[in-house]
Every structure is written in structure tokens, then in C-alpha cells.
Amino acid sequence: MNIFVEGIKEGVNLIWQMDPEIIQITLLSLQVSLTALVISAVIGIPTGAALALKKIPGKRIFLNIIYTLMGLPPVLAGLLVYLLLTYRGPLGQFELLFTPSAMVFAQVLLAAPIVCGLTARAVMALNQDVYDTAATLGASRRQASATIMREARIGIVAALTTAFGRVIAEVGAVMLVGGNIRWSTRVLTTSIVLETRMGNFSTAIAIGIILLTLSFIINLLILKLEKRTLRYDNTIQIT
């Protein structure tokens, strides 16, 4: 119990003192995970929408693969990226291994299937009425598709928050492809592992608290953004 209290105290101290290394680690964590999230959104949202709306041969199998990849073990994602980026690998010439770019690459591999799969489900959960109403009011295919996405936006935001949660908390893949190099590829999660291994449990807990706080703030911002687009309360009233 003492360790937790010490950890919390140290966490507050680290934040209060604005330790330059902690700030760098925190900013790198944010940079890597947010970049991965944006890339995953750019890939995953249109792909998920297309899978839900278009008649594509082998769609079910493709969806099944996406759903399976949603549970891809981070270490395996890291290994795949490692093999691609290693000196002798197909992308070795770009010398990306042990750089933040490699970490982004690995995190995209984890987040894109989540964004894609959950977007597809959110769109598929909508009723035919959405398209029919838009079409009978004279919407073009593009306009009707935009309306469908607008109607599915709660589900899409859920996809984004889930994907962000996955990548910000992920350690296996970034450890493998980033290497946890000080001032270069060390992020919050890999720092926790390092501090734990060194027996600095309270520091590990302190970094964990920073990680959780960061995640809380980002999710709060995403939900605020969602609320701005949802002017009305969508809560089911249970009395």
C-alpha cells in the first residue's frame, strides 16, 4: 500500500517539477499514439464504411479478418514490423527501425483494424431508412453516404476512443520496434517496464498515473468534440 501512496506522491512531484525527461517521454507518447490514431482513422473509417455499404466479393471473410486483427497481440504486431524494417527486411533501406516512425507503424497495425471494424459495425447497425430518406429527399450518393456517416458518428467516435486506448497503453510493439532508447524512443509504457525492472516501483506507478491522466484528458477532448456535433441528449431515459 505504501508503494502506491509513494507512487502517487512521486507522480504529483514529477508533474509539478516538470522533469524534462518525463515531459519528453510524455510528448513522444502523445505524438506516436496520436499520429497512429490519425493514420488509422484515415485508413479505417473509409474502409469500414465501404465494407458496410458496398457490395464487395468476399466481404464476410474480409470483415472476419478485420475482427480477428482487432485482437492482434501487440508483440506479434511489433514482430511483423520489426521483420519488415530490420536491416535485411523488405523496408530495411529506409532505416526506420528503433525510430518513432517504426513505433507509429506498429501502432497503426493495432489501431486501424479497430477503427475499421467498429466503423463497419456502427454503419451496419443503421437502418435502411437513413439512406432511403436521404435519397428520396434528393441527396446524391455522396451526400447520402455523408449522411450515413453523420448518423453513425457516435459509433465512429467509440471506435476512435477504443483505438486510442489500445495504442496509448500498448507496450509490446513499441518496445520491440522502438527499443526503449532514452531521449529517442522511450515512451510512458516502456518507461514503466524499465522502472519496474529496476525495482523503482513508485516511479513506475508515478509514470502510470501520468499515462492514465493523459488518456483521461484525450478522451475528454474527444467526447467534448462529439458533444459539439451532438447537440441533443442521446441518453436513453430509464425511470
Partner 1 sequence: MTTQFKLHNIVKRYGSRKVLDIDQLDLREGRIYTIMGPNGSGKSTLLRIMSLLLVNDEGELEVLSEKVNWEKEQLLYLRRQMSMVTQTAFMFQGSVDYNVAYGLKARKMRSRMIRERVNEMLEMVGMSAYREADARTLSGGERQKVALARAMAVNPGVLFLDEPTSNIDMASAAEIEKHIRTINQEQGTSIILVTHNLFQARRLADEVIFIHEGRIIERGSAGSIFDDPKDKRTLAFLHGEAVIQ
What is the contact surface with partner 1 in residues (CB under 8 A)? 127, 129-130, 132-141, 143, 147, 150-151, 230-232, 234
* CA dist., res. 164 & res. 41, Å (int): 10
Q: Are 108 and 80 in contact (CB under 8 A)?
A: no
SS3 content of the chain, % helix, strand, coil (to 5): 75, 0, 25
Q: Give least dist CB 134 to partner 1, A.
A: 7
Q: Give least dist CB 120 to partner 1, A.
A: 20
Residue 15 or 126: the one with the smaller Cβ distance to partner 1 is 126
Q: Give least dist CB 156 to partner 1, A.
A: 13
Q: Give least dist CB 235 to partner 1, A.
A: 12
Residue 60 or 150: the one with the smaller Cβ distance to partner 1 is 150
Q: Is 183 helix (H, G, I), strand (E, B) or coil?
A: coil
| C-alpha distance from residue 127 to each of 6, 64, 99 (Å) | 53, 22, 45
Q: Of 162, 148, 157, which is closest to residue 51 (Cα–Cα)?
A: 148
Residue 156 or 168: the one with the smaller Cβ distance to partner 1 is 156
Q: Are 151 and 131 in contact (CB under 8 A)?
A: no
Residue 13 or 140: the one with the smaller Cβ distance to partner 1 is 140
Residue 33 or 119: the one with the smaller Cβ distance to partner 1 is 119
Q: At what angle do helices 141-151 and 128-136 cross, to 10 degrees?
A: 140
Q: Give least dist CB 119 to partner 1, A.
A: 17
Q: Give least dist CB 75 to partner 1, A.
A: 41
Residue 9 or 150: the one with the smaller Cβ distance to partner 1 is 150
How many other β-carbons are positioned within 10 Å of the β-carbon of residue 130? 16
* CA dist., res. 118 & res. 158, Å (int): 8
Cell of 84: 519488415
